[in-house]
Homo-oligomer: A and B are copies of this chain.
Amino acid sequence: MIHTLEWTDSGVRFIDQTKLPTEETYVTCKTYEQVADAIRNMVVRGAPAIGVAAAMGIALGVKTSKADSGAELKLEFDRMCDAMAKTRPTAVNLFWAIRRMQDKFEYLRTRPIVQTKQALVEEAQRMHAEDIAANQAMGRHGATLMPAQGGVLTHCNAGALATCGYGTALGVIRAAVEQGKRIHVYADETRPFLQGSRLTAWELMKDGIPTTVISDNMAGAMMKQGKIGVIVVGADRIAANGDVANKIGTYTVAVLAKENGIPFYVAAPFSTIDLETADGSKIPIEQRNPREVTHIAGKAMAPEGVQVENPAFDVTPAKYVAAIITERGITRAPYEDSLRKLAEATATVSR
C-alpha cells in the first residue's frame, strides 16, 4: 500500500515524490502554506492527488486557525483557498476540490466554529476515500479495454502516486492484472520530471507488474515494432468536447498511436472533466522553471543561457481519444454529447 498523502493528527503527510525512487521519505506539512508549497514544488503531483492535497491543506488551515468569529474564519478561509488556487493552473481537480470545500464552508456558515472545523476535516478525508473508490471503479470499467496479454504503454505517472491510491491509468492496469491479464507495462520516462522512470516504474515494481522503462522518444519505435497493444494515460483536465490536457508528451503518444492503429485511452475521475471549458485551446498550460530541462541531478545538461521551453502539459485533441474511462463508466466520441449525458445521468445519483 502506497501512502501518497494522508491526514494525520500532526498535519498532512506526503511521500516526497521529488526523492523517489532512491529515497522513500515522508514530509508532514503543519500549515496550509506548507501544503501549497508541496503542491507547487511537486512533492505531491498528479491531478487527483493535487485536488485532495489542496482540500486537506484548507482543512488543516481551518483546523489550526485562531479565528474566534465566523467572519474572521471566513476571511482566513478565503485566503487559504486563494493560496491553493495559485499553486498550479492546469489540473482542474485542484479547482474542483477548492470549490467543494467552499460549498461545504458556505453550507456550514451558521454553525459554531468548532463544528465547521470538524466538518471540513471530515470533508477532506471523505474526498480521500472517494478518490480511491473512484479509481477502483475506473479500474473495473477500464480493465475490459485491456488486452488479455501484451504491452501497454503509459506516459507520466497516473498511478497510486498521482492519486490517493490505486491510480487512474495504473488503476486500470492493476485491475486488469488482478483479473489475470498478463500485461507488460512500457513506461515512458517522461522528461523533464521523469515521473515515468522514477514513479511509475517504482510503484509497478512494488506490485510485481512487469515494467520496461524507455526514453520518451523510444515509444514510437516500440509501437512500430508491435510491442504495444494499448495505451492508457491519465488527464489533468478534459474539456467539454473531449480534448485532454495531460503531461507534456501525451499528444505525441496519441499521434503515434493513431499512426500505428493502437487504441489510446484516457482514465480520469469525473472531477477531471471540465464542462465549463469548451475545448482544449481554453485550458491554461503551466510553464515551469527552465532549470527542470537544463539541469538533471544538479548538473548542467545544456549550455548556460540557452533558451528553453518547459510547458508542463499539452492538449490531445478528442479525435485521438478512443475512449475516456471514468468511475461512472466508459464514454466514447462524440464527447460533447457523451460527457454531458454522463454528467446529467449521474447528477442525481449519490457518489
Interface residues of A (CB under 8 A from B): 21-22, 155, 188-192, 194, 197-198, 201-202, 205, 210-222, 224, 248-249, 251-252, 255-256, 258-259, 293-294, 296-303, 305-311, 314-315
Contact = CB atoms under 8 A, between A and B. Distances in A.
Query: In the assembly, how many copies of this chain are there?
Result: 2
Q: Interface residues of A: mostly helix, strand, loop or mixed? A: mixed
B301 A298 contact: no
23 contacts: A155-B217, A189-B191, A189-B301, A192-B215, A198-B301, A201-B306, A213-B294, A216-B216, A216-B217, A217-B217, A217-B249, A218-B248, A218-B309, A220-B252, A221-B251, A222-B309, A224-B251, A224-B315, A255-B255, A296-B296, A296-B297, A297-B297, A297-B298
Contacts of A191: 189, 191, 215-217
Nearest to A217: B249
A307 B155 CA distance: 16
A257 B202 CA distance: 33
A288 to B, nearest CB: 11
Contacts of A214: 293, 308-309
B302 A21 contact: yes
Given A22-B299, A215-B248, 17 more contacts: A191-B215, A191-B216, A202-B303, A210-B307, A211-B306, A212-B306, A213-B307, A215-B216, A216-B217, A218-B314, A220-B255, A221-B314, A224-B251, A252-B256, A255-B256, A259-B259, A296-B297
B197 A293 contact: yes
Nearest to A224: B251
A300 B248 CA distance: 22
A198 B309 contact: no
Contacts of A188: 217
Contacts of A192: 215
